[in-house]
Amino acid sequence: MAITFGYEFAVVQPDFGGILKGMFIPTCGACNSAVVLQIVSIIGSIIQPYNYYLHSALVKVCFKGPVQ
| pLDDT tens digits, 10-68 | 999 999 998 899 889 878 877 888 888 988 888 888 877 777 777 776 666 666 666 65
Residues of the domain holding 56: 2-62
20 within some domain: yes
The CA distance from 4 to 8, in Å, is 6
52 located within any domain? yes
- Does any domain span residue 32? yes
Q: How many domains does the chain have?
A: 1
Structural domain includes residue 67: no
16 lies in a domain? yes
Q: Is the pLDDT of residue 1 over 60?
A: yes
